[in-house]
Structure 1
Amino acid sequence: MSKPKIGVVIGSTRENRFGDKPAQWIFDLAKARGDFEVELVDLRDYPLPFFEEQMSPAWGPSKNETAQLWQKKVASLDGYIFTVAEYNRGPTAVLKNALDYAYNEWNNKPAAFVGYGGVGGARAVEQLRLHAVELQMAPIRAGVHILMPDFVALMKGEAKLGGIPHLEDNAKGMLDQFAWWAKALKNAREQDAGQAKAA
């Protein structure tokens, strides 16, 4: 079995976003392990309109060309680590919209979350776990939550990701758990595909 291909999805598109920092940090940690192929997936590269298709992508093909490109990218990956900003106790609209623009492409793949903000993005992550279940992903239990004191220190340049021991420990635990699920689900999907082909 080849290495799972993992996408680190930057869940914000606004100017001067913080999301690039945790995305690059978790990308570097995941890549250094050697058991993943890892890429950064920037929602800015997929300027999706707010969902306006005639039907869910679960039931029919999308007409929007950007949506089709997004679905191909999602399909090419074996798991997803989302950076999560929290706006008004929920995830960014652009991230929820991106989730809605695919369906089958998400199925039977693990999802992990790196949240940041007042309570480490915990409330937004909690909602995203529910969305992930509905999209037939497997959201893992472990996550990373960059709480306000660390967030402020990082924004002011008084600290750097990679230099905060408790976040490093949390990231390691999350990636260990994520690796298990990514390999197990990739193997299961490949077995299912092989059986379907043989039938």
Structure 2
Amino acid sequence: MSPKLNVITVSTRPGRVGPSVANWFRDFATAHGKFDVRAVDLAEFALPVYDEPNHPVMQKYVHEHTKRWAASVAEADAYVFVLPEYNFNPPPSFYNALNYVYKEWNYKPAGFVSYGGASGGLRATQMAKQLVTTLKMMPMYEGVMVPMVAQQLDEQRNFRSNELIDKSAGAMLDELLKWATAMKPMRG
């Protein structure tokens, strides 16, 4: 049975580019053939600023939006966050979504597909990697960086990859598979 990979669109703002990049990566990961790939869009969960009365480590969730989010996170063996850069950081939706649950993230690998202007979201990814380690996730060294993302969109706003981006995506997926397989017994 293939490990389950959640490809998470992090941006929730109107007019966002994230879904285009995430759709490309979902299709790329599916063609890679080693994961059971699921697209997850944070915007569809409409998570308010953290509003649970109990600490997430207790897993005593009160709100339906938290229960749905926790189930989505728990079912995956690995994650790829499709991440824009806002002021050198991931968007607030990323921090909020991570902080909603705790044990559901533990002992799973995390990859990043970042996008933005000249930096391609690399600064946001570096900040994100620090946070995921506190949730006992293993961030991948390999990653996908998309600089000047607006220039990679066609007339219908579909993301168009290139050879370098594809090579990076393949390398990251290969590593995610190794880590997802190695870490599975830790979640026993």
Normalising by structure 2, what TM-score?
A: 0.92
For residues 107-186 of structure 1, what are the structure 2 equivalents within 5 Å?
A: 107-118=106-117, 119-148=119-148, 151-155=149-153, 157=155, 160-162=159-161, 164-186=162-184
Number of the residue aligned with 2:103:
104
Query: Deviation digits for residues 134-183 of structure 1, max 9, x if unmatched?
Result: 000111100011012xx131246499523x11111111111111111112
- Asked if structure 2 preserves the Cα contact closer than 8 Å seen for 1:5 and 1:79, the reply is yes
Between the aligned partners of 2:150 and 2:63, the Cα distance in structure 1 is 39
**Which segments of structure 1 move beyond 4 Å, counting only runs of 4 or more?**
156-160
> Amino acid of the residue matched to residue 22 of structure 2?
A
1:197 equivalent in structure 2: none
- Report what 1:61 is aligned to: 60
Please state how far the C-alpha of 1:54 moved relative to its aligned partner. Answer: 2.8
Contact 2:5-2:77 at 8 Å conserved across structures:
yes
Partners of 1:29 and 1:13 in 2: how far apart? 22
- For residues 92 and 37 of structure 2, the distance between their equivalents in structure 1, rounded to whole angstroms, comes to 25
- Cα offset for 1:53? 2.4
CA distance in 1, matches of 2:158, 2:53: 47
Shift of 1:47: 0.9
Identity %: 37
8 Å CA contact 1:153, 1:159 repeated in 2: no
Q: Distance in 2 between matches of 1:161 and 1:142?
A: 20
Match of 1:93 in 2: 92
* Equivalent pairs, count: 186
Instruction: Specify the SS of the correspondent of 1:94.
Output: helix
Contact 1:109 1:138 in 2 (8 A): yes
Which stretch of the first structure deviates more once superposed, 86-95 or 57-66? 57-66
Matching residue's letter, 1:61: K
Cα 1:56–1:33 change in 2 (3 A) is same
Distance across 1 between alignment mates of 2:171 and 2:121: 18
Q: How much is the aligned-residue C-alpha RMSD, in angstroms? A: 1.7
* CA spacing shift, 1:159–1:62, aligned 2, 3 Å: closer
Q: TM-score, normalised by structure 1?
A: 0.87
